[in-house]
Structure 1
Amino acid sequence: MYRITRFMLAPLAVSIMLAAGCVNYAGIDHQGKLLSLDQASSNSLKDTLPPANWPRADWWTSLGDPRLGALIEEAYASNPDLQEVQARVAKANAFLDLRDAERFPQMDASAGVTRGRLSRFEDYSGEGHKYFTARNLAVNFNYTFDLWGGQRAAWESALNSAMAAEVDLQSSKLILTVNVVKAYNQLAYAWQVSELNRRDLARLSKLVELSDSRYNSGLDNLSQLKQVQSLKARSESTLIGALDDIEVARLQLSVLVGKGVDRAQSIERPASLQASVVALPAQLPAQLLGRRPDIVAARWRVEAENKNIDAVKTTFYPNINLAAAAGSHALSGDALFAGVSKFWNVAPTISLPIFDAGRLRSDLKAGNAELDVSIAHYNQVLTSALHEVAISVTQLRSFEQQIVVQRDACAIAQSSYELSQSRYKAGEDTFLDALNIEQQLIQDEMRLAFLNSKHIDSSISLMAALGGGFQEREAPLAKNTIN
């Protein structure tokens, strides 16, 4: 028997396509261009900072509070937003399995029994009023030859999308981790502010007592007493706000870890956190392409859209499908497996789009537009990533310099306060003078606490901008080059 193969059918299909002058995709292409590192990056950061290693996967441990790691693990397990992304990954993998299954032949079996009554119109004898029982047993086979690689391209597109979804999960974990760490840092700062406000309230309470005594002694007037009482009331209000900030920060953490309101009350006061030293990896920005999950995911989506276009282009070519069936049809049960009841058929089909009113070209234009969207998104993510690194480093430098100056200011204020205490005990200064100097010390310490908090926030932002310990794993397929 003469055997037909896909290699014999392919030349025939090409000949039919050329002879028919069918639908084609001439003149349809994408417009976007991938941004190169040379266009997006600058060497200015590398020239001004000492080299360092890339962030570790557990980069938050450098902040110095082991309880923070437990909160992050709790967030990984319970955060609803992260669970939503995990569901998207499962969906993308399921779609990948579907595209993979479409590349293989399909075979199914069927069996059935039909009981019916014939009318006179349906009865060949013209009598009608007859009953029948039809039994059938069949095996069906269907296979579309992937002559132009369209099914493989569709599978590779789904694979790239699944890879992007998995990397999105890592990006979501990084974002969640950053949000937890920043909320934890905000909680630590809120505690510091509340303590300093308590000190300020205690100072003003003593000042009110002193002013009241001086007023009763005729040394101060009522206006001076009311002014000090007003300052104390304002301090009490500020302390209430600071305590509210603690509760709000706790609630923000409880939301991030995916727990209810009651979880907020069990979150303890954080330890004193330490910011990371300003330094950048020596291979920045070249290695940033594989260290930032959002960049990696954006690149996978470009490749997915590119493969999707390859798949769409194959719909312009002739399609060859092979369908076959075999089984048995019988009106009586004992004849179901008899030779006269058996049947089979083979139906190879060649289809070629000749006129479709522009449907295929419109589909390809839409695919190229999606590719342009993905390329633009990749370029935007790459540019933003490099700017985020630059902004974080700039802020870190600034906060470090401000902290050095502010520590000097605190040291001077502390020395002045201690001197005022000594002078007060020696009778050289009044108690009012000592309290006023203490106010300056508290204000300087407030400023230092604020700068330390912002410094830690900028350090966290730098860890996130560098990818937070993410490292792209080896891809199952080599990616294409998009021009």
Structure 2
Amino acid sequence: MTTRTAKNSARLSALLAAALLAGCASYSGIESQARLRTPDAFGLPAGGAQPSMPVSPAWWKDFGDAQLDRLVGQALDGSPNLKIARARVARASAVLELANAATVPQVEGSLEARRQRYTENGAVPAPLAGSIRDTGTLQLGASWELDFFGRYAQALEAAIGASRAAEAEVEAARVLLASQVTRSYFQLARLQDQLQVARRTLAQREESLGLVRDRVRAGLDTTLELRQSEAGLPEARQQIEALQEQVQLTRNALAALVGRPDLQVEARSLANARPVAVPSAIPADLLGRRPDITAARWRVEAATHDIESAKAQFYPNVNLSAFAGLSSIGLSRLLEAGSLQWGVGPAIHLPIFDAGRLRANLRGKTADLDVAVESYNGTVLDAVHDVADQVASSQSIARQQVQQREAQAAAEGAYEIALQRYKAGLGTFLNVLTAETAVLNQRRLGVDLAGRALDTQVQLMRSLGGGFQPDADTQRLATRTPS
């Protein structure tokens, strides 16, 4: 047998031994139990259906209020929560860079100088034994772990997924903050409109009290009608005070969202807001338009690659290392040709018996995937529910507003008739109070419905993604059929 044949046989034996030893660590029996649900499982139309109504990234400008635009802009610029989300993106980007660095060769240099006394009773022979010498080393080393089984490639893909998820979460935080500011702004407008109704109510009751007093002095009414009229004033004043308290609390909440404790907001009426269009059904492309769903899907993607990376740890690691440099006893000889040293060779590390560490790590990663998948399923389910609620509410409120306007017109007419009959002595003041109560209830209901209509439109913009613009990779990920 030749020397080369003997060497080849030795190498083959080593490889076979490595394969047998690697079989001692196995990930069999560890599988994810959760499954991504398909769009049709959530009642969404199949792919290829007509896309939803477009939502602008600055959707709040569609309401046509410059003051609202300014407030949302200030909130997005100064929100601590949004800055925290951006810091998480920076953290995820750093992890991504670290994972990428593991896939390329590493090179390092070293320079060492030392003054040393050599032992007389060791392995160092004379004349070094017992002497004090200067030693120096100047060396360049390189190493590269060959990623045959994809451990680092999968870790890199997992880091990419986590980074993309963090970016989507920033967009989700942005959409949520803009919707909170807009809802608070319209809530403030609703309360101010209600305050105007309450003030008109007080003025109307004061006018009625003056009329009753005139009739009492003329002997046309009794003290009963006077007391009935006077009883309505404290109630109206109490309602005004309660609304003023709510106005101030809402201003404080809006100031906190914007990040300006000294925030000054001019009074606005709901009537000045421009309504936005409302879709008639849940959009087909919901999965790709909501940043929270996108973030959850990227978390699933990252967890999937984490599992593959954990599985790759069960296989051998092959590392190529090399060094070249100068080393000498006596610094004066360090740069001589005879001081050259070098070395090159592979290193193979095999997982054999690790007390279950690799399997435990894989089980943990598998559990992380199950959590990510079910979190995604839950996020989609909540999103579908959210959009369905906002669409249904928007359509219902529009129908309610038609009926309310008709009811208010009828109540206003009945009040005018009751008041004229009372002035003519053909009716009692109790009829006037009853008619007035109906009018005031309709006015309050009209303001509440207008406020609900705008609030629902804001929530619909948020539930449709708030203008999130997914890229091509995200669109493919959103429409990928679960395996």
Higher alpha-carbon deviation: 297-306 or 205-214 = 205-214
Q: TM-score, normalised by structure 2?
A: 0.86
Counterpart of 2:3 in structure 1 is none
1:399 corresponding residue in structure 2? 397
Change (3 A) 1:52 1:316: closer
Residue of structure 2 equivalent to 1:96:
96
Task: Tell me how far 1:434 sits from its aligned partner.
Answer: 5.3
Q: 1: distance between equivalents of 2:127 and 2:240?
A: 101
Letter in 2 for 1:341: S
Offset from partner CA, 1:130-155 (integer Å, 9 cap, x none): 65433322212121110111111110
Match of 2:336 in 1: 338
For residues 426 and 140 of structure 1, the distance between their equivalents in structure 2, rounded to whole angstroms, comes to: 109
In 1, Cα distance between equivalents of 2:120 and 2:15: 52
**Does the 8 Å contact 1:24/1:361 carry over to 2?**
yes
Q: Does 1:35 align with 2:37?
A: yes
Q: Which residue of 2 aligns with 1:193?
A: 194
Aligned-residue identity in percent = 33
For residues 430-478 of structure 1, what are the alpha-carbon distances to aligned partners after superposition, in whole Å with 9 as ceiling and x for unaligned?
7886566444323211111001111111122222222122231022997
CA 1:127 to 1:174, structure 2 compared with 1: closer, same or farther past 3 Å? closer
Separation of aligned partners in 2, 1:11 and 1:68: 75
One-letter amino acid of the counterpart of residue 37, structure 1: P
Aligned residue type for 2:64:
G
* Matched position secondary structure for 1:470: coil
Letter in 1 for 2:33: Q
- Contact 1:298–1:381 (CA<8 Å) still a contact in 2? yes
In structure 2, distance between residues paired with 1:477 and 1:458:
27
- Alignment CA distance shift 1:291-1:14 (3 Å): farther
1:377 maps to which residue? 375
Deviation at 1:186, TM superposition (A): 0.3
Superposition pairs of residues 34-433 of structure 1, within 5 angstroms: 34-41=36-43, 53-115=53-115, 131-209=132-210, 219-221=221-223, 228-259=229-260, 261-263=261-263, 266-271=264-269, 272-280=272-280, 284-420=282-418
Kindly provide the CA deviation profile for residues 300-320 of structure 1, in whole angstroms up to 9, marking residues without a partner as x. Answer: 111111111111111001111
Aligned position for 1:453:
451
Superposed displacement of residue 178, structure 1: 1.0
Secondary structure, in 3 states, of the residue corresponding to 2:347?
Answer: strand
| Inter-CA distance 236–124: structure 2 relative to 1 (3 Å threshold) | farther
Residues 412/343 of structure 1: CA separation in 2 closer, same or farther (3 Å cut): same
Which is further off, 186-195 or 225-234? 225-234
Change (3 A) 1:52 1:120: closer
Alpha-carbon offset, residue 417 of structure 1: 3.8
**Counterpart amino acid of 2:147?**
D
Q: 2: CA distance between counterparts of 1:302 and 1:310? A: 13
What is the SS of the residue equivalent to 1:367? helix
The whole-number CA distance in structure 2 between the counterparts of 1:473 and 1:26 is: 37
Letter in 2 for 1:356: D
CA distance in 2, matches of 1:224, 1:151: 88
**Distance in 1, Cα, partners of 2:194 & 2:32:** 55
Unaligned runs of 5+ in 1: 1-9
Cα distance per residue 1:303-350 (max 9 Å; x no partner) = 111111111111001111122222223343321211333322224211
Q: How big is the shift at 1:206?
A: 3.7
Three-state SS of the structure 1 residue aligned to 2:114 is: strand
Structure 2 CA distance for aligned equivalents of residues 466 and 163 of structure 1: 20
Mapped contact 1:17–1:317 kept (Cα < 8 A): no
CA distance in 2, matches of 1:425, 1:91: 76
Distance between the aligned counterparts of 2:417 and 2:406, measured in 1?
Answer: 16
Find the aligned partners of 1:14 and 1:32 in 2 and give their Cα distance: 37
Change over 3 Å in CA distance of 1:185–1:350 after alignment to 2: same
| 1:195-232 residue CA offsets vs partner (Å, 9 max, x unmatched) | 111112223334455566677788544x7656654532
- Deviation sequence 1:160-203 (CA, Å, 0-9, x none): 11111111111111111111111111011011011111112223
For the Cα contact (< 8 Å) 2:51–2:283, is it kept in 1? no
Q: Show structure 2 runs of 5+ residues with no match.
A: 1-10
Please tell me the residue identity of whatever aligns with 1:67.
Answer: Q
Q: Distance in 2 between matches of 1:29 and 1:324?
A: 39
Number of aligned residues: 463
SS in 2 for 1:232: helix
Q: Say which is worse superposed, 125-134 or 234-243, in terms of deviation.
A: 125-134
Moved more, 111-120 or 20-29: 111-120
Report the CA distance shift for 1:414/1:214 in structure 2 as closer, same or farther (over 3 A): closer
Q: 2:27, 2:359 within 8 Å by CA — same for their partners in 1?
A: yes
Deviates more, 1:395-404 or 1:427-436: 427-436
Residue 6 of structure 2 aligns with which residue?
none
The answer (yes or no) to whether the contact 1:135–1:332 under 8 Å persists in 2 is: yes
TM-score normalised by the chain length of structure 1: 0.86
Q: 1:134 to 1:214 in 2, by over 3 A?
A: farther
Deviations 1:246-297 (A, max 9, x none): 22222222211222x212xx1222352243343247xx54311111111121
Q: Deviations over 1:70-107 (max 9, x none)?
A: 22111111011111101111111111111111100111
SS at match of 2:473: coil
| Counterpart-to-counterpart distance in 2, 1:455 and 1:477 | 31
Task: Describe the superposition over 1:11-35 as per-residue Cα deviations: whole angstroms up to 9, x where unpaired.
Answer: 9986444322321111111011111
Taking only aligned residues, the RMSD between alpha carbons, in angstroms, comes to 3.2
Aligned AA (1:442)? L
After TM superposition, give the deviation of residue 109 of structure 1 in Å. Answer: 1.1
Deviates more, 1:318-327 or 1:140-149: 318-327
